[in-house]
Structure 1
Amino acid sequence: MEDQEMQLKVRRVTDKFTESMYVLANEPSVALYRLQEHVRRSLPELVQHKTDMQSWEEQSQGAIYTVEYACSAVKSMNNSSLYFKNIDSLLRQATSMKEQINNSQGRSGKVVDPSTAPTVC
């Protein structure tokens, strides 16, 4: 009787040990299968997100370039105020000279041919 009991206990222990070894041996392959399954499901979506992000990055770079170019144009316009003041001064001088020419022609009564009129530099 004792022998049968011992055999039953040994069988239970060996069965549990065999089951544990089977689980331990198969656990990594089950985990790898689950990883593969997850990657297969999520990879297309990740690829789509990557292409979207690259497209947005290109658009952003274009917008940044445009803004930087506009800023440099505005800064260069600020630097050109001296030139505009110069042009304004020259236009005022030309207008004044034109009025003087008109006044002098009006007094003398002569009509001056524009092609022979003195040029202002």
Structure 2
Amino acid sequence: MEDQEMQLKVRRVADKFTESMYVLANEPSVALYRLQEHVRRSLPELVQHKTDMQSWEEQSQGAIYTVEYACSAVKSMTNSSLYFKNIDGLLRQAISLKERINNSQGRRKKAVDTGMPKEGEKLTTGM
């Protein structure tokens, strides 16, 4: 009876030992399988996120360039106030000259309408 009990106990220990060895031997395989499964599921989403991020980066770089260009344009405009003052003075001169020309043309028309001689003409009488 003792031999049977001893054999049963030895068998249990041997089975437990075998099961433990089996688990230890297969544990890395199971872990690697789970890891592969996870990568297979999540990789397409990660690739999509990377693509989106690259696109956003390109758009951001374009926007940054545009803003920097606009800032430099505004800075150069503040430095050109002297030129705008010169343009303003020239425009005022042109407007005053145009008004003088219009006034002189208006006098000539009145002279022609009233029968006054034009410059360089002699007044003739009907005799």
TM-score category (smaller protein) = 0.7 to 0.9
Q: Structure 1-normalised TM-score?
A: 0.75
Query: Structure 1 residues 112, 93: CA separation in 2 closer, same or farther (over 3 Å shift)?
Result: farther
2:20 corresponding residue in structure 1: 20
* CA distance, structure 1, for counterparts of residue 61 and residue 45 of structure 2: 24
The RMSD of aligned alpha carbons is 7.5
Identity of aligned residues (%): 91
Deviations 1:75-117, CA, capped at 9 Å, x for gaps:
111111111112223444555567678889999999999xxxx
Query: Following the alignment from structure 2 to structure 1, what is the Cα–Cα distance between the partners of residues 57 and 126?
Result: 55
Structure 2 counterpart SS, 1:109: helix
Moved more, 94-103 or 29-38: 94-103
Distance 1:13 1:43 in 2: 44
Deviates more, 1:9-18 or 1:103-112: 103-112
CA distance in 1, matches of 2:106, 2:12: 132
Give how far 1:7 is off: 1.2
* Cα separation, 2, equivalents of 1:64 and 1:90: 38
- Give the aligned partner of residue 98 of structure 1: 98
Higher RCO (C-alpha 8 Å, min separation 6): 1
Structure 1 segments unaligned to the other structure (5+ residues)? 114-118
Partner of 1:23, secondary structure, is helix
User: Which whole-Å CA distance do the structure 2 matches of 1:31 and 1:58 have between them?
Assistant: 39
CA distance in 1, matches of 2:21, 2:78: 81
Query: In structure 2, the residue corresponding to 1:110 is in which secondary structure?
Result: helix
C-alpha distance 108-26 of structure 1, shift in aligned 2 (>3 A):
closer
> How many aligned residue pairs are there?
116
Q: Is the alpha carbon distance of 1:112 and 1:61 closer, same or farther for their aligned partners in structure 2, counting shifts above 3 Å?
A: farther
CA distance in 2, matches of 1:55, 1:23: 47
